Amino acid sequence: MEKILIAGANGTTGKKIVDLLATSQYFTPVAMVRKEEQIKQFEEKKIETVLADLEQDLSHAFSAIDKVIFAAGSGGKKVKEVDQEGAKKLIKESEKNNIKKFVMLSSMGADAPEQAEDLQEYLKAKQNADEYLKKSNIPFSIVRPGSLTNDEAKGKIKLSKKLQERGEISRADVAQTLVRVLHDSAQINKTFEIIEGDTLIGKAIPN
């Protein structure tokens, strides 16, 4: 079983990722949380946690970690500090620890922030973090979903390096996609966009 560090484990998508990994036959989750009071909910499910802040030292969070999922977000409050610099700090630490794969939850529009009508600062931060990851020596997958919803998982997506349309996708399906690309050869060193679609996630992303 590979140990997966989830940055942003307390977020809406992060919690879904942790739950999926907790039932996986390949992976076991380590929930990275920022506040002491966020630990209990995971401990009750017997999920390992680590207290670490993306704005602080992260070296202690990497004990026996094999792979990393970055699903953290500042919610627009500290875009540069968390979404950009926090991600870069996690990537740097991953390099030091010879992490086998880094899965980045990015956003559709991060390839051209200047064209966005809103959220330009956020998309620019995501773009900078994505570019930093691409230049690292860590095998990676960068996942760029459309607008996130809290709908039920459909288990089906539309995936392309560049989709020629906007669209929505549930956080549940994004979580499934992120877990799917943890496999070594799945979408290795690729950046791709996803929205709700007709292709089963397992088919859209062969291992």
Summarised one tens digit per residue, pLDDT across range 59-98 is 999 999 999 999 998 777 888 999 999 999 999 999 999 9
Residue 117 pLDDT greater than 80, yes or no: no
DSSP assignment string, 132-166: HHHHSSS-EEEEEESEEE-PPP--EEEEESS-SS-
What pTM was computed for the model? 0.95
Q: CA dist 29 to 4, 26, 36, 117, 118, Å?
A: 5, 10, 18, 36, 34
Res. 115 pLDDT band, cuts 50 70 90: confident
Summarised one tens digit per residue, pLDDT across range 161-202 is 999 899 999 999 999 999 999 999 999 999 999 999 999 999
- Are 143 and 106 in contact by the 8 Å Cβ rule? The answer is yes
Mean pLDDT score across all residues of the chain:
95
Q: At what angle do helices 12-22 and 171-180 cross, to 10 degrees?
A: 50
- Are 72 and 86 in contact by the 8 Å Cβ rule? The answer is yes
Local structure of residue 188 (DSSP, 8 states) = T
Higher pLDDT, 114 or 75: 114
Residues involved in catalysis: 122
**Residue 51: Cβ within 10 Å count:** 14
- Are 189 and 139 in contact by the 8 Å Cβ rule? The answer is yes
